[in-house]
Amino acid sequence: MLDVDGGTYPYVTSSNTTPGAAAMSAGISPLFFKNIVGIVKAYSTRVGEGPLPTELKDEVGDLLRFQGGEYGATTGRPRRCGWLDMVCLKYVVRYAGLTSFILTKLDVLTGFPEIKVAIAYEIDGKRYEDVPYDICNMTGIKPIYETFPGWTEDLHNISDIDKLPVNAKNYVKWIQKNMGIPLVMMSLGAQRGEGIESYNPFGA
């Protein structure tokens, strides 16, 4: 969402961030890219200004920030945190041409009684299931959530997707189904080896 053309202008970076732009910069055709893997956190974050419809300005957001270590590596600036936004994710899948994805920081959600995902927005009484083109000029965006039960089990030593807690597995399965592309890897901690590599485990 920080792409200078397809992102939330003017709250964007100074360049194009898509695989197509990478191809042009490298002097090759985008047709050479057979696989385009997106990296997705299990929740949403943003640095600086700009729309973040699922932002949590409460103790839940503070806990997400603390457990996820969501602070700038150089400045220590706290990142804005919120629930996962499937409206944005579906847009990114289309815009960037993702063919698969990696899910990171699933372990950060351990201990939350319930976990939410935005499936649409409500703006002035109207439901939006796609990112509005003028989202930066809109106020009063209310996420419409789907809610999932959380889990308390430690995920860090799990190396088999079938050994994930049922609620964690259901959450990941729902994300893959709604993104419509295969999940190829999950990270369950900050250390090397704390993750699961499994091509398309839920048959998206």
Q: Quickly list DSSP for 107-124.
A: GGGTT-SEEEEEEEEEET
**For residues 5 and 16, what is the distance between their CA atoms, to the nearest angstrom?**
7
Q: What is the pLDDT of residues 86-112, one digit of tens each?
A: 999 999 999 999 999 999 999 999 999
Same domain, 142 and 83: yes
Same domain, 92 and 114: yes
Same domain, 49 and 112: yes
Same domain, 57 and 85: yes
Same domain, 69 and 105: yes
Q: Which domain holds residue 5?
A: 1-29
**For residues 16 and 192, what is the distance between their CA atoms, to the nearest angstrom?**
30
Q: Which of 85, 39, 5 is closest to 181 using CA atoms?
A: 39
Within 8 A by CB and 6+ apart from 25, the residues are none
* Number of domains present in the structure of the chain: 2
pTM metric for this prediction: 0.92
Residue 73's CATH number: 3.90.170.10
Q: What is the pLDDT of residues 109-151, one digit of tens each?
A: 999 999 999 999 999 999 999 998 888 877 789 999 999 999 9
